[in-house]
A and B are shown apart, each in its own frame.
Chain A
């Protein structure tokens, strides 16, 4: 089979390329005449304008079909995630290490808690109502102002010793730190099937003595009247109920692994892929 590829030197190739960019004989720029470039550019501008229009139209149609109160599907949010404050992430998950004798190591943690609780001051919660029923707060109609639904008040004083009011350092210098557990919001999720879900913190693995914990509010429960959640549009002033835990017998200078699970029907914490579903695990080390 005969050869078809004529070998070119580098300079020939460069000359070819230069001629391709601007060919003075045929007056072609990059293989086209200038007027041709204008036409093709106009065509592409028009084409992309139309395609943008099509895209915009599609998104518009999509938005028209969307329910503003709740998403069409919730199949990916079956069980709520759990988060903890203060939250310091190391390379292997939550790692909360501090030294009781070194202010600087725990001041940041305390500040995190204070900042977090600013959303729970009486002023921040003034739009919400006081609820006393210990059952689900089901609202079929929009009873709130501006076609909204009512939300129950959760103020930081409900966390008592861990509210930061009585003890602004949350027990950190004493080695008995407070942590705040929060459950993620899921629209129209009824946790506990009538029984208020509660937080339960334990050591992970073998520990010589059981973990002593104070839970606030009592028993570490999330009151049912905070559920269900009706979404941002229906309940603009809703805030998640919280549970505070205070660890009383932390061994110093040892890294401890603690898990706080939420116990309640409908809340799973055994998804091996998701470490934050229904539970939160963290490492705690208090030095002195």
Chain B
């Protein structure tokens, strides 16, 4: 059937080439849809919006609103004057829910948009043959049957069957994980479309050469599309922080409901009217629910997300910000993430000595000893025996950043010589090339013959490079200190040692040799023929070895050691050879200098591998082939027993197995990936990290985070930010919860002691949604308390965001102190207006009676109902103001949980001061500016701002003592109960 289908395609092709018109293309486009991957099915916007409306505390507030309206209805029917108060309260509560819902929805939409804009950054173009004319079209307009042309550097715009190729190689790594470029031709070589040579796949890249092909699949029907849709089928599950927040919401809601119900029962049994009891219940709910908190948390997370984006971590899902912070295992790719993703000359061997070269990203010079004449000879070979060239027009770029046409090793050599010698192209021009044999896999060498740049020297220079053993075979002499010496067995031995040593470091080694052709045999006019090889290719002079490696990024070793001290296990997962993988792991510290693998121990003790006690080996290098044979238990054992693990020669599918293994250990796993095949692992991981530069769209879609610079070190800064935000959210929540008690106590005491109402429901909302918002966000800017990367990752089962200590300390200690301060203010206001504390107890019924308009105070003065109510509102203001003042102290103490405020610095976090001033400013505006008459918050005496100040100071002092004792007696009873 093969030849028949081939013929059929050929026939179709001829038709298409001549007459595939735009109109026909439009028809097919309408039928098949655009050539783009359908983004993963998004939740409908309205569902997202409604979720915000009923999530978190919203249900409680809706209940509050419903109760308000019910009591409004009842009171209206009874003809009570104040019925409308309840209507308004209900409306306000509903508005609070709707507004915070809209806000949260907007925040989420904004962070989604960041991602959307990111993926649309580069619209792909394709060169298409239509209407017998070459056109540049957006790739998503391609249809089945289009003829497209591709060249080196292009991304393949669809699945195409090649009909013409010229030296075409494609990089299928994003699809198959194979990092070696694969050549492509028009030959049908395999039944499996993934194996056959005449198909190039959507989203892979053409590395070199050119090709023309017919589009056979577009959009989701491409191979990649099928994999991607498979990966996106996995549902979204809850992030650790989402679980923490849910836990916190349950806790607060539980407290609110139980106190509410308890006091409902108490008030009913104290013979309050049911309706009044319901109104108390609303007040208790409103006081208990931190209305602004969830919005604050969202803002804090998005601030952190922004900060992380600046540090090259683009977070797609706000909650992933914190997930990164609780990460306990990072499974990292090697190439591009830990390494620079380019071959670089790492070592040289000449004059019987190994020299190290600088492999950093921004090298401008090389500092090894360059005085030897041997180096001069070696550098000439390196420069001349090289086909790679810089793309023109990049003279102003740093050498390391320039784009090179050529393969990886030649690029490395070109840049290396450019750094040391300067203008390589000029040197090549002066040493005119007269003949050349390019590298091929049979010869395993590359050779070229040049004129010399010395006008008096009419000899030709033959230079050769290649696999070291092959080069050595062709040499009879070796250059030592510029002099040719016979290659005896001793020198050959030295060569072997050096070759083994460099190879053992996981480096790719090349040998270099040369020969000056005698002038008499090869005169200036001699015609070199590379086919008949009319020149010597043996008895050459061996000059030296160069070894190359894809070196680690310079920031990585530091980042890895940071991970180590942060208790995060870094596991390298790579498709590379175990030796290279191990070498890189050692150089970045994933395998530390002192630790040994089982094989190392076996070698050291000179015993077979099987006899080694596996527990002695802290490190392990696991080959993909071994991994294939392993059971889940064996993998678990490896993950458990070894602190330092490298997985080499693994396929992207095995990455998923490794991730699952790590998760079985209870770890929060971060995984990096770039290929399409990585997407299941990225999805499966607690936090999937896609590479921004090398990553495929499918990987980016599956990931929770995109690493814009592909740098491992950026993950570590992300971890730091994630841990910081977790700590800071604790502070924010502790800050917010505290004043809930000061808002709740008035209701409780009002019910039990029948005093005039100290604070109104609307006034509570002033605090929760007015004065407290900016300060709680300001805590997100707080710097870490010293040792954030020196402690173990958070245990997601034990280290809760809101733990018992936090709730108890906020509610039962600081909250109570705040309540006392606020009540003292309340009593002061009433006493100074004529009602001494003793006269207030038990007056509720008379106080609130409309029928008593000559209510007597402690001095014998008489008050009408309205005059009393106005005084009551003044009390609200004073209560509100004194909570605000004490919240300033609360804000300051929440800056740290363990350290003294003075150590943390009062002024380092400027945003806290913005918070404090905004808090006071908003309170001033609410009490003195925005006050229509009969507003439940009338402006009154400035002196009441200061009544609570001693209590604010008391709170500060108390918390300093708490922190002092925690620092002084770590692990003590105090530490266990007072540290949150």
Contacts and interface: CB of A to CB of B under 8 A. Distances in A.
B536 interface: no
A83 B854 contact: yes
A2 B237 contact: yes
Given A59-B824, A76-B833, A273 B933 contact: yes
Contacts of A5: 237-238, 243
A288 interface: no
A273 B239 CA distance: 54
A233 B859 CA distance: 7
A149 interface: no
A24 to B, nearest CB: 21
A47 B816 CA distance: 10
Interface residues of A, number: 55
A55 B940 CA distance: 23
Interface string A18-46: 00000000000001000010011001100
Contacts of A69: 859
Interface in A184-235: 184-187, 229, 231-233, 235
A63 B823 CA distance: 14
Given A1-B704, A73-B832, A73-B941, A232 B862 contact: no
Nearest to A39: B973
Contacts of B954: 54
Contact of B823 (A55, A80, A235): A55
Given A1-B237, A1-B687, A63 B977 contact: no
A48 B816 contact: yes
Contacts of B854: 81, 83, 182, 184
Contacts of B823: 55
B595 to A, nearest CB: 29
Interface stretch (B389-397, B487-495, B863-871): B863-871
B661 interface: no
Given A187-B860, A273-B933, A4 B240 contact: yes
A40 B940 CA distance: 41
B820 A51 contact: yes
Given A91-B79, A187-B859, A4 B237 contact: yes
Interface string A251-269: 0000000000000000000
B864 A276 contact: yes
A145 interface: no
Interface in A54-72: 54-55, 58-59, 62-63, 66, 69-72
A66 B831 contact: yes
Interface string A81-122: 111000101011000000000000000000000000000000
B934 interface: yes
Contacts, number: 151
A4 B71 CA distance: 42
Contacts of A274: 864-867
Contact of A186 (B850, B858, B861, B933): B861
Contacts of B804: 31
B955 to A, nearest CB: 11
A184 B687 contact: no
A66 B853 contact: no
A89 B850 contact: yes
Interface string B664-688: 0000010000000000000111111
Given A4-B796, A5-B238, A184-B861, A44 B832 contact: no
Given A54-B820, A71-B857, A185-B860, A2 B832 contact: no
B820 A184 contact: no
Contacts of A75: 940
A214 B438 CA distance: 130
B594 interface: no
A238 interface: yes
Contacts of B533: none
Contacts of A47: 813, 816
A75 B683 CA distance: 68
B685 A66 contact: no
Contacts of A70: 859
A3 B237 contact: yes
Interface string A265-288: 000000101111100000000000
Nearest to B871: A76
A14 interface: no
B275 to A, nearest CB: 15
A77 interface: yes
A186 B684 CA distance: 77
B60 interface: no
B86 to A, nearest CB: 17
Nearest to A189: B861
Contact of B862 (A54, A91, A92, A184): A184
Interface in B700-720: 704
Contacts of B240: 4
23 contacts: A2-B669, A2-B684, A2-B686, A4-B239, A4-B243, A43-B977, A51-B820, A54-B820, A59-B827, A69-B859, A71-B831, A71-B859, A74-B833, A76-B867, A77-B863, A80-B862, A81-B862, A91-B79, A186-B862, A187-B860, A187-B861, A238-B860, A276-B865
Report, nearest first, the 4 A-B pairs whose CB atoms are least far apart: A232-B860, A81-B864, A184-B862, A274-B866
Given A2-B684, A59-B837, 15 more contacts: A1-B239, A1-B683, A1-B686, A2-B686, A4-B239, A4-B796, A62-B831, A63-B831, A66-B836, A70-B859, A72-B833, A73-B832, A74-B833, A81-B854, A274-B864
